[in-house]
Amino acid sequence: MAYVEGQTIHDADSHVMELPGAINAYVDPKRREAFAQAVGLSRELTPWAEQAKALHDDPEFRAGDETNLLTRKNYQALGAFRNQDRPRALDLLGFTSQLVFTTAALGNFGLEERGEVELALEGARAHNRMMADFCSVDRRLLATGYVPLIDFEDAPRIAREAIELGCKGLVVPSRHPPGHSPSHVALDPLWAMAQEAGLPILFHVGGEEKMHPAYFETGQPRVLDFHGGAENFTSTSFMTIPVSIWQTLSVLVIDGVFDRFPRLKWGAIELGASWLPSLMRFMDSGAAAFGKEERLRNLSARPSEILRRQFRVTPYPHEDTAWIIANSGEEMCLFSSDFPHVEGGRNPLKRFNEALEGVSEAAKRRFYRDNFIDLMGAGLDVRLHDHPALAAA
């Protein structure tokens, strides 16, 4: 029995849990050594990674695949790093499709911030080969390709390569590239290519500017995250998640990128959504206050209306999703499971159903199905708009 039955649900956020160094095999051999040294990747699996592989070869452990589908997380989860197992996981989940993101390379290993331009570009290409390969086993798995914005000429080239590999969405960082705005006109060929291909531009957590380390120096013991380390999110570092996307969306709308490419859809994945209603109203307020600016006079509509037309977002399950929808629009929010990450929880459907209490059935259908179809465009096979079991009924 599948986790989801009798309903079409598209999952806007899932992940592959790459084993350490997995991306090395996809790096150009001429750059492999330099890349591995720059990002600190080991050529050999660590003991815990070997144990994870062995666990998935253990018949006794695998006998619990279905029973423990949503309780086994990260490297223990079915299909976490072996792509041949992921279709079975998707069958058991019952989702009609899944967008699939990296785990290890969400920030492109920090290469862009360090000014390692050539290695950053190669890291993106290797990432895209890796993701396309992982998702090649099942058309329901929608690979995401990463496009750095640091080089104006290479950005569309990398995007074209990702599209040709079979990637169904293009991820860009929500922070600004070093030295220029994400709304720079020299990036228009990238946006034009995505629009022509009918694929969305996506932002994902990990691509934002992090909280300055000084904020953690409180004179008290360092607070660890729920993984037991200091490298992930705590209640304070969590607060910076929307800061970069807030600024980036602002310039993309106000500087006219959304209007220049009105058929291009954008999505913010695993960045939360409680900030969205405030951003929409703050941008409208700014447009009213500075309405004499020519760029604002040239906008096709109010910023909030432009965002409703082209922007989609995934709330966290602990957010008040019904409030977000009521204060932003029924066309903007998407379901996501974060499978197999711990953060997704053991019962995401239950949590979102509770968070959607009081929302109309039409709005719920948009949340679980319609808005995802709208976001993905040509990236979602029309035969996957509805779950095959429902389509055949």
In this structure, the strands spanning 10-15 and 97-101 are parallel
In order, the DSSP letters of 207-252 are: SSPPPPGGGG-SSSPPPP-TTSSSSS--TTGGGGHHHHHHHHHHHH
Q: Report pLDDT for 85.
A: 98
Phi and psi at residue 143, in whole multiples of 5°? -70, 145
Please tell me the pTM assigned to this model: 0.95
Instruction: Provide Rg for the chain, Cα atoms.
Output: 21
Q: Report pLDDT for 230.
A: 57
Q: Report pLDDT for 229.
A: 59
Run means of pLDDT, 10 residues per run, the chain, 393 residues: 95 97 95 92 81 95 97 97 98 98 96 95 98 98 98 98 98 96 98 98 94 89 70 82 97 98 98 98 98 97 98 97 98 98 94 96 98 98 94 65
Q: Report pLDDT for 216.
A: 86
Tell me the C-alpha distance between 99 and 203, whole Å. Answer: 12
Angle of helix 117-135 relative to helix 154-165, nearest 10 degrees, comes to 10
Q: Report pLDDT for 199.
A: 98
Q: Report pLDDT for 106.
A: 95
Amino acid in position 65: D
Torsion of CA 319, 324, 326, 327, to 10 degrees: 140
Sign of CA pseudo-dihedral 93, 94, 95, 99: positive
pLDDT tens digits, one per residue of 303-350: 999 999 999 999 999 999 999 999 999 999 999 999 999 999 999 999
Q: If we measure between CA atoms, which residue out of 74, 134, 99, 107 comes closest to residue 312?
A: 99
Torsion of CA 257, 258, 262, 268, to 10 degrees: 130
pLDDT tens digits, one per residue of 94-120: 999 999 999 999 999 999 999 999 999
Q: Report pLDDT for 299.
A: 98
Q: Report pLDDT for 269.
A: 98
Q: Which domains does the chain have, with CATH numbers?
A: 84-391 (3.20.20.140)
Q: Report pLDDT for 222.
A: 84
Q: Report pLDDT for 339.
A: 98
Q: If we measure between CA atoms, which residue out of 126, 130, 80 comes closest to residue 344?
A: 80
Q: Report pLDDT for 392.
A: 65
What residues contact residue 198 under an 8 Å CB cut-off, 6+ apart? 263, 377, 378, 379
In order, the DSSP letters of 119-184 are: HHHHHHHHHHHHHHHHHTT-TTEEEEEE--SS-TTHHHHHHHHHHHHT-SEEE--SSPPTTS-TT-
**pLDDT > 90 in the chain, percent:** 88
**pLDDT > 70 in the chain, percent:** 97
